[in-house]
Structure 1
Amino acid sequence: MIRSLALLSATTALSACASLDPYPVDRPVIAPQAYAGDLPPSGVAETWWQGFGDSVLDDLVEQGLAANLDIAIARDRLRAADALLQAERADRLPRLDGAADAAIGIGTSDSDSASIGLLGTFDPDISGRLSAQIRAAAADYAQAEYILADQRRLVAAAIAAQYIEYRRTGAQLELLAQSTELQERTLRIVTLRFEAGLAANLDVRRAAADLAQTRARRGLIEIARAGAANRLAILLGQSPGLFTPPPAPGEQTIPDYAGGPPAGTPADLLRRRADVLAAEAALLRASAIVGAEQADLRPSLTIPASVTLGDGSIGGILDEFIASIGAALDLPLFDGGRRRAEVDAARAEADARFGEYRLTFLEALGEVENALVALDANGQRIDALREAIEQSEAALEQSDALYREGLATLFDVLDAQRQLIASRQSLIDSEAALATSFISFHAAIGAPDGVLR
């Protein structure tokens, strides 16, 4: 018994002195001082989607963050990671189990026997393996937490993007109605001129063909509109086909963006983008696994203990008390290089995780830069299209007046109509693209707006 206690004291000292050389994870990731593109002005909105000033969008995002199934799945996996972390921490505590056995004799020489007792074990972790496993589980938990936050970031952006698409199709349907009315009026004029002998039947057919071509676009727009509504339903955890976004003021237009939270700097992506933080947590886990594999190169110790009551007879369970405590020391001597190989493999995996961490950051940086280019390009395109629409409206008015006077052909009128309708369609698409670029930008910078909770 004295020797056991002495060995226990020695192992406690070994545990205090044991140290592992953690695999370095603080290797620098160099971030540019500023973004290459010009940042949009910041607004007063607390959450970036509020910059659209659309209460319907605000409600849809809040519903999605509460009911989205991808978020629910990530939340369940976070619960699992938390439970596994608690399990790893429990391994640092002593373990105690109960035991009992009994036998009833049948032959003349057999006798009844019984005993009860407690069995315990304790690992003082002199190798450091348990501590490394706890660090790995803690990193798993952090990664699951960041993945949950990243799902919230992605879901908010996806809902906003699909809502803009739904609004785009509404604006396209409104434009289709206006274009159809314009071409119907032209067809009536051409028909009257044909009946009066002032125009050829070819002109009537041309005008009718243009009108039919415009009407044919309705089906494509309705397909895109239904697709946006169905994707919104899935994002909100609802059944596709049964969900219709509620009406919004100005539903036939694309909402303007007034500005959101400050963008920060490229270095802020390392602290604000949840997927970058998740990649960092994966790197920390890989570093901890290196420590766990290194622990196998060191001695390990297990301290078993037991308490037994009983003298072997059923009636004498309380007649005898036996207690014991010992120690089992495992010294790694020779394994053909297996343990060293496992350490090398863990180091290589940690290097790969560092590469993934850098790649995730660079991809996030690329998303921001792409969004900035799209913001600038779409803004310039919208200005040019508005000028084109103004000129096309004037050209149509002039060609229509000249046609009535017989000084221009129907081809001139129809060509002016086509240009005007095409410019109006392109303007709607570009306004939607600009709104989507704002969504992509704020999703890319990982704005600190409450989504990462």
Structure 2
Amino acid sequence: MMRAAILSLAALGLSACATLDPYEPGTAIVPPQAYARDLPPSGIAENWWEGFGDPVLDGLVEEGLAGNIEIAIARDRLRGAAALLRAERADRLPRLDGAADASIGLGSDVVDTASIGLLGTFDPDISGRLAAEIRVAAADYAQAEYVVADQRRLVAAAIAAQYIEYRRTGAQLDLLAQSTELQERTLRIVTLRFEAGLAANLDVRRAAADLAQTRARRGLIEIARSGAANRLAILLGRPPGLFAPPSSSGESTIPEYAGGPPAGTPADLLRRRADVLAAEAALLRAAANVGIEQADLRPSLTIPGSVLLGDGSIGGILDDFIATIGAALDVPLFDGGRRRAEMAAAEAEADARFGEYRLTFLEALGEVENSLVALEANGQRIDALSDAIEQSEAALEQSDALYREGLATLFDVLDAQRQLIGSRRSLIDSQAALATSFVSFHAAIGRMDSAP
């Protein structure tokens, strides 16, 4: 009667489990078919930094992808995830262990006994729990692999951005030398005019003050330059402090990007982003975890077995042979609603992961849109500043000539100098910002394949 009741309950449990469908969180996000702004012309898709045509930058990115510590950490975690996936898959196979037992009697009526054998178990996974655990481990492995790829994407972008900053500071130092030379020349002219009685001492002090203010900028630029070099060193996995990027022929200029990012819709481009794929893998893991909780509502079956040799004296281990095989059926009956509550919690977590996936996609889309705006705005600003520099150079030349003739004041000359120096400084910053915008754009849509 008891055996019949157990089999009846098992059949009832299996039929109930058949109504449990695989959990599917939410509906897929449908991205817009085009960006709010037009994409620039198609350019290099994978190694996008090569679009700058700078061998020094190419070498730095290559070194960083090979030696960056965060990438190495992500690879170590990927190896761990691969090992756990192998472990979960191994649970689908029969398990076999060796066994040995021996006892030695101390009295005259006690016989020495010994036995050796094999103990085995097999889980046919009628509940589907082992399959769900493999899906969880596979999703963990996929997420770890995408994290490696995402770290490579971020490191490449960070190296390019810091290299641009390093070149920006080099250009600013070069401009500082030019501005200092220009103001020193003005100071010499004013000093000679003062000594000849053609200018007041106030003019000398004004020219000297402007020169001192320009020279004072060197410290700030060198601080920024050192910071960029140190951040580059860390990204490359080198000790900061003694590192400086290799010199290049255009060290005092800003690298220009040739072409533009790959053309396509957001769904085509952002679907390649490793962090979006990692969020998708986390979503799949949460859905698979629901499958584990569903499996706990179903009966589970374990098949143990053993083969033993010997059960008599130590000298006759091979005299007896015993083989057994059995079956253990575990049927969930009553747990106060705990299993159902755990499944509800897993479903809620899967819904939350779906929300995180959608948020990751939208944030990535926002990064693309922001970089597009920056590309357009910085390009327009560079055009305007180029015109401002041309006008300022003409104004300085005219005011300088008029001052020499006594038809303009020193204030006019110094004001024209300030405008010219300021416009040149802003042009360098805008050129660097434009180059960085290209970096940000490619980082926002680019795909970095993970290295083994």
TM-score normalised by the chain length of structure 2: 0.94
1:272 partner amino acid: R
State how far apart, in whole Å, the 2-side matches of 1:324 and 1:43 are.
69
The equivalences for 1:233-312 within 5 A come to 233-312=233-312
2:327 partner amino acid: A
Report if aligned partners of 1:49, 1:260 keep a CA contact under 8 Å in 2. Answer: no
Match of 1:389 in 2: 389
State how far apart, in whole Å, the 2-side matches of 1:260 and 1:315 are.
84
Report if aligned partners of 2:44, 2:262 keep a CA contact under 8 Å in 1. Answer: no
State how far apart, in whole Å, the 1-side matches of 2:315 and 2:403 are.
120
Report if aligned partners of 1:233, 1:239 keep a CA contact under 8 Å in 2. Answer: yes
- Give 1:259 deviation, angstroms: 1.7
Report if aligned partners of 1:20, 1:128 keep a CA contact under 8 Å in 2. Answer: no
- Give 1:442 deviation, angstroms: 0.8
- Three-state SS of the structure 2 residue aligned to 1:117 is strand
- Give 1:446 deviation, angstroms: 2.0
Report if aligned partners of 1:117, 1:308 keep a CA contact under 8 Å in 2. Answer: yes
Please list every run of 5 or more consecutive structure 1 residues that lacks an aligned counterpart in the other structure.
Answer: none
1:439 partner amino acid: V
Match of 1:202 in 2: 202
Report if aligned partners of 1:127, 1:296 keep a CA contact under 8 Å in 2. Answer: yes
- Three-state SS of the structure 1 residue aligned to 2:406 is coil
Report if aligned partners of 1:20, 1:291 keep a CA contact under 8 Å in 2. Answer: no
Match of 2:134 in 1: 134
Aligned pair count reads: 442
- Give 1:407 deviation, angstroms: 1.1
- Give 1:43 deviation, angstroms: 3.1
State how far apart, in whole Å, the 2-side matches of 1:204 and 1:161 are.
42
1:52 partner amino acid: F
Q: Deviations over 1:319-349 (max 9, x none)?
A: 0000000011001011011000000000000
- Give 1:19 deviation, angstroms: 7.9
State how far apart, in whole Å, the 1-side matches of 2:46 and 2:274 are.
18
1:400 partner amino acid: D
Report if aligned partners of 1:48, 1:260 keep a CA contact under 8 Å in 2. Answer: no
State how far apart, in whole Å, the 1-side matches of 2:120 and 2:236 are.
51
The equivalences for 1:318-397 within 5 A come to 318-397=318-397
State how far apart, in whole Å, the 1-side matches of 2:261 and 2:388 are.
33
2:234 partner amino acid: I
* RMSD after superposition: 1.9
State how far apart, in whole Å, the 2-side matches of 1:182 and 1:362 are.
50
Match of 1:28 in 2: 28
Report if aligned partners of 2:45, 2:262 keep a CA contact under 8 Å in 1. Answer: no
State how far apart, in whole Å, the 2-side matches of 1:190 and 1:278 are.
66
- Give 1:149 deviation, angstroms: 0.6
State how far apart, in whole Å, the 1-side matches of 2:449 and 2:310 are.
63
Moved more, 35-44 or 209-218: 35-44
Q: Deviations over 1:223-266 (max 9, x none)?
A: 10011111111111111012110011211000111125523211
Q: Deviations over 1:204-230 (max 9, x none)?
A: 111111101000000000010011111
State how far apart, in whole Å, the 2-side matches of 1:46 and 1:296 are.
45
Q: Deviations over 1:368-403 (max 9, x none)?
A: 000000000000000000111111111111111111
Please list every run of 5 or more consecutive structure 2 residues that lacks an aligned counterpart in the other structure.
Answer: none
Report if aligned partners of 2:45, 2:446 keep a CA contact under 8 Å in 1. Answer: no
- Give 1:18 deviation, angstroms: 6.2
Q: Deviations over 1:189-208 (max 9, x none)?
A: 11111111111111111111
1:320 partner amino acid: D
1:361 partner amino acid: F
Report if aligned partners of 2:312, 2:319 keep a CA contact under 8 Å in 1. Answer: no
Identical-pair percentage: 84
